[in-house]
Amino acid sequence: MSPSDTSIRLAAGQLKHAALTKVDFAENRQFEHGQPVTYRVDHTHTIDFGTAEDADVAVLILDLEIKWETEDPKAIPFDLAITVLGVFTWPKDSRPEDLMRAWLDFNGTYLLWPYARTYVAQVTAMSNHAALTIYTLRVPVPPPLQGEKQQAPPRRPAARPRKKTSTRASQTSASTAKKKPKPSR
């Protein structure tokens, strides 16, 4: 058996469906508007597997909760927790479940995060408060595959200095300023 016969195809899963499945929102009527507030987003996920007629299916459930960085109840505008569900598919029998789980553990939250951001903004916009748009996530560098050495990310070449160019308007005004008036006849 050649090495190519034993390699595993690393086709990525496809996000087929994302939906908001749970919202817990409670406005704090004691909140004093106008004071600065700081938050963080706590999140966890769970993964369930199944099969369909023509595909392997995984469901990733992403739970998010807005946590406020204060103990003062008058400084907390609202409590919010949401659940976002994502359905991912792979071609039938294309890869083992442990690889699909590893792929979802690494990528699933990042793929559902834009949906979560939208849902948080929409729910909070319908309250007495300004819409809360939570931060974006930066995808980390993946771990090396078994047997590979960790490599530093490639460096971008330094930018070359730009040549100064003038706009058409400045060229026109400069050329008009240098022209000598024509003598009148």
Averaged pLDDT, 109-117: 96
Q: How far, rounded to the nearest angstrom, does the alpha carbon of residue 9 sit from its chain's CA centroid?
A: 26
Looking at the domain assignment, is residue 176 inside a domain? no
Looking at the domain assignment, is residue 37 inside a domain? yes
Alpha-helical regions (H) of the chain: 3-6, 97-125, 168-178
DSSP letter, residue 34: T
Identify any residues that bridge with 84 across adjacent strands, giving them in sequence order. 20, 62
How many other CB atoms are there within 10 angstroms of residue 163's CB atom?
A: 5
Give the per-residue pLDDT at 119. Answer: 98
Looking at the domain assignment, is residue 77 inside a domain? yes
Please write the tens of the pLDDT for every residue from 136-160: 988 777 777 666 565 555 555 554 4
| Residue 18 φ then ψ, to 5° | -135, 140
Please state the domain count of the chain. Answer: 1
Looking at the domain assignment, is residue 184 inside a domain? no
Residues sharing a CB contact under 8 Å with residue 112, sequence separation 6 or more, in sequence order: 15, 18, 60, 62, 84, 86
45, two tokens: 């996920």
Structural domain of residue 96, as residue ranges? 11-125
Looking at the domain assignment, is residue 165 inside a domain? no
Looking at the domain assignment, is residue 29 inside a domain? yes
Q: Distance between CA atoms of 1 and 137, rounded to whole angstroms?
A: 42
CATH number at 96 reads 3.10.420.10
- Residue 71 vs residues 35, 39, 74, 153: alpha-carbon distances, Å: 14, 12, 9, 41
Is the pTM value of this prediction over 0.85? no
Which of 144, 140, 85 shows the shortest CA–CA distance to 116? 85
Give the per-residue pLDDT at 120. Answer: 97
Q: Distance between CA atoms of 154 and 22, rounded to whole angstroms?
A: 41
Please write the tens of the pLDDT for every residue from 39-95: 999 999 999 988 767 678 999 999 999 999 988 888 899 999 999 999 999 887 777
Looking at the domain assignment, is residue 144 inside a domain? no
Looking at the domain assignment, is residue 18 inside a domain? yes
Residue 33 one-letter amino acid: H
Averaged pLDDT, 99-123: 94
For the chain, give the percent of residues with pLDDT over 70: 70
